[in-house]
Amino acid sequence: MADELEIPNNALSDNFDLKMHGTKKVIIENHLGVTIYEDNIVTVKTNDSKITIKGSKFKIEEINNYNVIVKGNIKEIIFDKE
Amino acid sequence: MLIFKLVYLIRGYVVISIDSNLEKTLNILRRKNISVWDVEKNEKGNKFKISYDDYVKHSDLIKEINDDVSKKGLIFKLNRMKFRKGFSIGLLISIICLFLLTSLIWQVEVVGTNQTNTNKIMRLLKENKINMPASLSKNDMQEIETLIYTDLDLFKFVEVYIEGSKLIIFVREKEAELTEIKSNEPSSIVSAKNAIVYKVIAKSGQPVVKEGDVVYEGQTLVMGIMQNISTEEFLTVPSDGTIYGKTYYNFEMKEEKVRNVNVATNKSKSVYYLNKNGNSIKIIGDKEPYENYNYRENIINLPIISKLTAITFLKATYYEEEIKEVEIDENTALNKMKVSMYDELLRRCSADSRVLKSTINHSEDSD
């Protein structure tokens, strides 16, 4: 519907936005919280799925109600539909 | 992110350390709309940062999570300074006092004259209500220079300048005028130029020319002899008198119709120097960037710094000029030549002579 009306997708849906800066930084917007935070794995819960980021030297740079910024060496991102 | 961190560094932030349940804590804080950053998880423990505003707003919740909090940021450093209010104010006042006191002039020193004249200068300053300590501007110093020069009339040169907290008055005394001592030796007055005599005033000696006589250079005008009326003897005396004569000067001058004129090209380049105690160091720019140029200097004083350290900046600007050949018209050339010729005529005449008549004939060269 958003495409039909030519308006941004996130204006009408609750889906998350994921942005990556190379393999060093990932920004996830519209999340529901962090479920696992370890040095080599970070799992972020979203409205309809779970995002698992695998790699090493992870650090949560910022987390608030709207977005989460994870920095580190990213090797893999897995999306699990709930 | 850097700006974000800088803002929190100024406004203050809190570092919270917890032992376990980091994910749960982060989600609780997220639900309370608290922004968290720099989340670290390692063997030493878990640490994260929140803003001081959020900490104050949700202090009960933070206490439930953990008591181990450390407050950081500029606001806490300033708060600590509040307890040292007296010290801070005292330090500020002492800096201001030191600056004000060092910018004042406390002593006057006169260089280049004796004690009597020094006392006269001091008295003059006192009469004009210039008392120490005082703060003097450049204009004030110029006024003091003029005052000493005009009111005392003892000095041929006066310079006033500040050295540290001292006012130096540098003077050069006027030399006593030498009086002309007339010798008693017999002498005659001779003509220095060819002329037609039109007035003879002989105070001492015998005039040998009269009005209308033509005299030549080296001819005797007044002889140094006088006749004694009673004994009719001739005595040799020193001659004294004034003989007026008319003389003529003929000379030629040339004025070029084509002249070289410097014309500005509107291009300029600046060179900056750092000045301290008369020594300058070049900072930016090249010296003499043009072949033909007009040069101007401008001294830039930095507020406070220049006063304390005597460091100034010098901006030297080179304005490019082109040399162009310009042909002037006949009238302009004639006028210019008239002025030059009159100047030349005055130069040839002695100081106590007068120009009675001057005529100029001109002609144009064919080449």
pLDDT in tens, B77-88: 777 766 677 887
**In chain B, where does the domain assigned CATH 3.30.70.120 lie?**
2-79
pLDDT tops 90 at residue B174: no
Residue of B nearest to A42 (CA): B23
> What is the C-alpha separation between A64 and B34, in angstroms, rounded?
6
Q: What angle do CA B27, B28, B33 make, to 5 degrees?
A: 90
Q: Kindly give the residue spans of alpha helices, DSSP state H, lying in B128-257.
A: 138-152
| A55 CA: distance to closest CA in chain B (Å) | 15
Q: Which residues of A touch B38 (CB under 8 A)?
A: 59, 61
The confidence score (pLDDT) of residue A11 equals: 67
- Mean pLDDT of chain B, nearest integer: 84
Phi-psi region of B12 (alpha: psi -120 to 50; beta: other; left: phi over 0): left
All residues at 6 or more sequence positions from B171 whose CB lies less than 8 Å from its CB, including other chains? B110, B111, B112, B113, B117, B121, B148, B154, B155, B157, B158, B159
Give the pLDDT band of residue B181 (cuts 50, 70, 90).
low
Which of A24, A29, A34, A38 to mutate to probe the B interface, most B CBs <10 Å? A34
Contacts A38 to B, Cβ<8 Å: 41
Check residue B154 and give its pLDDT.
82
**CA-based nearest distance A54→chain B, Å:** 16
Is B42 in the A-facing interface, judged by CB distances under 8 Å? yes
| Residue whose tokens read 């005008």 | B221
Instruction: Look at residues B319, B315, B303, B318 and name the one whose alpha carbon lies nearest to residue B274.
Output: B315
What is the structure's pLDDT at B101?
83
Say yes or no to pLDDT of A39 above 80: yes
| Cβ atoms of residues B169 and B110 within 8 Å | yes
B-facing residues of A in 17-56 (CB < 8 A) are 33-39
| CB contact (8 A) between residue B26 and residue A34 | yes
Query: Is the confidence at residue B308, as pLDDT, over 80?
Result: no
The CATH class, in words, for B107-173 is alpha beta
Q: What is the ipTM of this complex?
A: 0.86
Helix (H) or strand (E) holding B349: none
Tokens read off for B167? 């006012």
Minimal Cα distance from A40: which residue of B?
A: B41
Contact between A59 and B36 using a beta-carbon 8 Å cutoff: no
pLDDT of residue B79: 73
- Res A50: pLDDT: 93
* Most B-contacting residue of A30, A56, A63 (CB-CB within 10 A), to test interface: A63
Chain A interface includes B31 (CB < 8 A): yes
Asked if A62's CB is within 8 angstroms of B26's CB, the reply is no
Which chain B residues are closer than 8 Å to A39 by Cβ?
41-42
Q: Is the pTM of this model over 0.80?
A: no
Please tell me the distance in Å from A6's CA to the nearest CA on chain B: 31
pLDDT score for B82: 67
Interface subset of B 44-73, CB within 8 angstroms of A: 48
Q: What is the pLDDT of residue B179?
A: 65
pLDDT for B345 equals 86
- If one counts every other C-beta atom within 10 angstroms of the C-beta of residue B16, the result is 21
Q: Which residue spans within chain A are E strands per DSSP?
A: 17-21, 25-29, 33-37, 41-45, 49-63, 67-81
Give the ranges where chain B is alpha helix by DSSP (H).
2-11, 22-31, 52-57, 59-65, 74-82, 85-102, 115-127, 138-152, 305-309, 330-348
**Which structural domains are found in chain A, ordered by start?**
2-81 (2.60.40.2000)
Q: Token pair 């987390």 is at which residue?
A: A63
For residue B192, is pLDDT > 90? no
Residue A56: what pLDDT?
A: 92
| CA pseudo-torsion sign B107, B112, B114, B117 | negative
Asked if B155 and B171 count as a contact pair (C-beta separation under 8 A), the reply is yes
Q: What is the largest CA-CA distance in chain B?
A: 146
Q: What is the pLDDT of residue B102?
A: 82
- pLDDT at residue B361 in the model: 86
Which residues on chain B are in Cβ contact (under 8 Å) with A37? 22-23, 26, 39, 41
Does B65 score more than 70 pLDDT? yes
Query: Quick one: closest CA in B to A38, which residue?
Result: B41
Chain A contacts of B49, Cβ < 8 Å?
none
Query: How much of chain A, in percent, has pLDDT values that exceed 70?
Result: 94
Residues of chain B with CATH 3.10.20.310: 107-173
Per CATH, is B2-79 categorized as 3.20.20.70? Answer: no
CB pairs under 8 A between A and B: 48
Determine the Cα–Cα distance for residues B228 and B234; give it in Å rounded to an integer: 6
